[in-house]
Amino acid sequence: MLLAMIIGFTIALPGVFLTSSNLVAVVNNQAIAAIVALGLLFPLAAGVFDISIGGVITLSVISSASMFQATSGRMPVIAVIVITLLAGSLAGFVNGILVVRLQIDPFIVTLGTGSVFLGISQLIANGKAVSEDIPTAFTDLGRGEVFGIPNPIVCVVVLAVVVYYVLEHTPLGRMIYATGAGREASRLAGVPTERILYLAFCASAFCAALAGLVYTARIGTGQPDVGGQYLLPCYAAAFLGSTMIKPGRFNVAGLLVGLAIIAVGINGLQLWGIPFWVISTFQGGALVLAVVLTKIRKTSKST
């Protein structure tokens, strides 16, 4: 599918689509979504949803920008990064408590906490963008390059390698997949399923907070409504990827291919002059298609 789209847009948009500058721009623009989606693999592989990522991203964006503004840009960059990542992990821990201890459905829990995190962000920012006193040392992290490769892309590559190794080559990864395949059976087999769920939510929120930091560093301002735009494409990429590579299993390779399909599709349509509303339609259609393909695959296996 990805190859067909690339060939199609290359033919339809000669000299425009398949250029090094456009391809780098496509990848760089999807870096934040990739960071969020890689974190989502942990709860999805463990068999639960995390809908709070939009709120965590926004909280990360506003918190980091507000810390700089409150200290007139004098707060050490490393301190802002550490505090923001810890706050994100704490948000994931809260989700874990509500799901594991109170036995509330994770979809409902994270839908609610995501709204709470968004509300806290709006309160901190007073509904306005936070753009004062963000130091150059911080924005350079989001706009700089390593050997000509934008830092956000480098961050995605490193994170993808780490997530791949953890999920595919460690006992922890096997326990995460086992929990997703059957929580009660895994618990009876000795898998600490409750700890796994805590870890999954914390990892997801940590990555969402990291994505928020990257966003703030790239843009140089804290927007109080930015997080929601990443929820749909990240889930669409995860589900779409699980139907193509290692079908039925959420995995890094499939996720990246799914993200590439969505990114290439949107970029090609934009270059073609398609109206802006097609973006949401394309993302939603990709998610529905992925769910339908998953359902068909499960049905064919059971017959």
Predicted confidence at residue 268, as pLDDT, reads 84
Task: Dump the DSSP string for 139-179.
Answer: HHHHH-EETTEEHHHHHHHHHHHHHHHHHHHSHHHHHHHHH
The per-residue pLDDT string of the chain (303 residues; one tens digit each, 9 = 90 and over) reads: 778 888 888 888 888 888 878 888 888 888 999 999 999 999 999 999 999 999 999 999 999 999 999 999 899 999 999 999 999 999 999 999 999 999 999 999 999 999 999 999 999 998 888 988 899 999 999 999 998 889 999 999 999 999 999 999 999 999 999 999 999 999 999 999 999 999 999 999 999 999 999 999 999 999 888 888 899 889 988 988 888 777 778 999 999 998 988 888 888 888 888 777 777 787 788 888 877 877 777 676 666
Give Cα 38 distance to the centre of its chain. Answer: 6
- C-beta of residue 233 within 8 angstroms of C-beta of residue 241: no
Look at residue 280 in the predicted model and tell me its pLDDT.
77
For 107, the 3-state DSSP assignment is: helix
Provide the pLDDT for residue 116. Answer: 96
Domain ranges of the chain: 2-296
Q: What is the pTM of this model?
A: 0.91
Q: What is the pLDDT of residue 303?
A: 60
Q: Please tell me the predicted confidence (pLDDT) of residue 98.
A: 97
The pLDDT of residue 251: 93
Chain centroid to CA 224: 18
CATH classification code of 2-296: 1.10.3470
Q: Give the C-alpha distances (Å, rounded to integers) separating 199 from 54, 92, 120, 146, 195.
A: 19, 8, 24, 31, 6
Strand bridging mode 149-150 / 145-146 = antiparallel
